[in-house]
Structure 1
Amino acid sequence: MNFALILFLLLAITALLWAVDRFYARKRRAPGAPAPWWVEYGASFFPVILIVFVLRSFLVEPFKIPSGSMIPTLLVGDYILVNKWTYGIRLPVINKKIISINDPQRGDVMVFRYPADPSLDFIKRVVGVPGDRVEYLDKRLRINGEEVPLRADGEYLHTDRLYYSPRYVEQLGERSHQLLIEQDAPAFVSQVMDFPFRQNCTYTSAGFRCTVPEGHYFVLGDNRDASSDSRVWGFVPDRNIVGRAFFIWFNFSDMKRIGRFH
């Protein structure tokens, strides 16, 4: 049972208690008589839970980064905010889009439900939109036959294991972001799952080529050689999208990380 469903059930229960108290029980109590504890607490929690539910379901939702697949953009332990409405308004719990606003763009950092297990939330960077031909050969990304600009940007120190990785800056459209590429790691994808539209992809010893189907997106981690992403488990369907990540609001280890990111 996910948190959104738990919150929805709490909202329904407290709303029922509030309604019973407001329109029925309050009128039957003797003047000055206290309300039963279960009515008092349930009715008083209703406005708070309603505000939290609306904010979390339609505006912003907090997440914690659990893995290093998005290093150096996002680190393990970063607490982030996700814009829930920028890609459209979706019904809570079932995540069905009812109002379309914007489509994900190349370069967006997107949170979505993992296609192989929708109970899990993943975060990756969008590199391919519907109709794109995405190639990652010899660790160079190409979109629709054009090589994505990439330049060296020094080294990144992994403080937990005290080693350095080559750091680069990649330009996806008008947006640039940092990423890590381990030159001594193999270029081929070692494990590939059986996923929908698997026939749209070709894998070789140098990497892969994929054509993104309609209504789907291709995503990669910024820590390119330490990320399980669309290379492995396939495309992200639009129905799985949660929102666009845009702000780090806390990190216990480094308060300087608070702020926007690209």
Structure 2
Amino acid sequence: MDIDFPLILLILTVGTGIVAAVDKFWLAKKRRAVADVLIEKHAHPDDIHKAETEPFIIEQSKSFFPVLLVVFVLRSFIAEPFQIPSGSMEPGLIKGDFILVSKFHYGLRMPVFGNTLIPTGEPARGDVMVFFPPNDSRYFIKRVIGLPGDHVVYRNHQLIINGQLIETTQTAQEPEDRPLKFLAEEKLDSATATVQWMQARDSLTNQLIIWAGPEGEWDVPQGHYLMMGDNRGNSSDGRVWGFVPEENIVGKAVAVWMHWESWSDVPSFSRNKWIE
């Protein structure tokens, strides 16, 4: 079962904030009043101290609330770190890359619910974006291919968007890799993406082919986006599960700040870069 961390953080922040506020405006005054009565009666100092002492839950809530609030604000409205979990965005992003996701590029959004509070911009074709797929609570990262209203065709390793063939230039083969990989540059509006296909065997003819991944034709509804992985032959993306609604957007991936594939490895900073 996936843990809904944003919801948990929201609940903890609101909960500790309420406890701290109730104590400040009500419970602390009651404790002070009880202590004043004991002082007038010349009670034992231990009893006075006990009356003044904050209960454990209040003490902990007041300690944690400022920290949780800062984390909540930074994570919800400024930036958030993520780790690349698979090879669907190869070769630009590989499994184990830690990336920084900007939360304000596409507007300040209400945490958990995703609705836009303050619009600051919209996704552009070619952006690398983190989002929730439809009917899935897991974070995904793919590239924006289709904008609202676009007509997108993907066949024979080529994209056609609104009737215009997207320029693709093969740049390299990786013969040392198995399976054999083919790299190409794809010129989109906001970026030049390096996409990847892999050699495979046709299940019917057993002939070697360059596997393009799922092909098809799509009309992107208003308020939605069509997302694809750069590793076109090995990516579960919008070609399979459909369009991403605007409210499912998390943010724009802007930089790689560390690579750490497993706990047994040493973290590396050699891949640090801005994401294009």
* TM-score (norm: length of structure 2): 0.81
Partner amino acid, structure 2, of 1:17: V
Question: Corresponding residue for 2:83?
Answer: 64
In structure 2, the CA distance between the partners of 1:156 and 1:91, relative to structure 1 (3 Å rule), is: farther
Count of residue pairs the alignment pairs up: 242
1:261 deviation in Å?
1.2
Supply the distance in 2 between the matched residues of 1:63 and 1:187 (Cα, whole angstroms): 27
1:151 deviation in Å?
1.4
Question: Corresponding residue for 2:237?
Answer: 229
Supply the distance in 1 between the matched residues of 2:19 and 2:123 (Cα, whole angstroms): 40
Partner amino acid, structure 2, of 1:241: I
Q: Cα deviation per residue 1:153-206 (whole Å; 9 max; x = unaligned)?
A: 223588xx75541111111025212110225244473xxxxxxxxxxxxxxxxx
| Pair 1:132 & 2:150 matched | yes
Supply the distance in 1 between the matched residues of 2:232 and 2:274 (Cα, whole angstroms): 22
| Pair 1:244 & 2:252 matched | yes
Question: Corresponding residue for 1:256?
Answer: 270
Question: Corresponding residue for 1:201?
Answer: none
SS in 1 for 2:198: coil
1:17 deviation in Å?
2.2
Question: Corresponding residue for 1:200?
Answer: none
Give the unaligned 5+ runs of structure 1. 190-206
CA contact (8 A) 1:149 1:170 kept: yes
After TM superposition, the structure 1 = structure 2 runs for residues 104-119 of structure 1, keeping only pairs within 5 Å, are: 104-117=123-136, 119=137
Question: Corresponding residue for 2:113?
Answer: 94
After TM superposition, the structure 1 = structure 2 runs for residues 1-262 of structure 1, keeping only pairs within 5 Å, are: 1-27=3-29, 28-29=31-32, 30=35, 33-117=52-136, 119-156=137-174, 163-182=179-198, 184-187=209-212, 189=214, 207-252=215-260, 254-262=268-276
Supply the distance in 1 between the matched residues of 2:175 and 2:102 (Cα, whole angstroms): 30
CA RMSD of aligned residues (A): 2.1
Supply the distance in 1 between the matched residues of 2:144 and 2:247 (Cα, whole angstroms): 15
1:70 deviation in Å?
0.5
Sequence identity percentage: 45
* TM-score (norm: length of structure 1): 0.85
Give the unaligned 5+ runs of structure 2. 36-47, 200-208, 261-266
CA contact (8 A) 1:110 1:244 kept: yes
Supply the distance in 2 between the matched residues of 1:187 and 1:66 (Cα, whole angstroms): 21
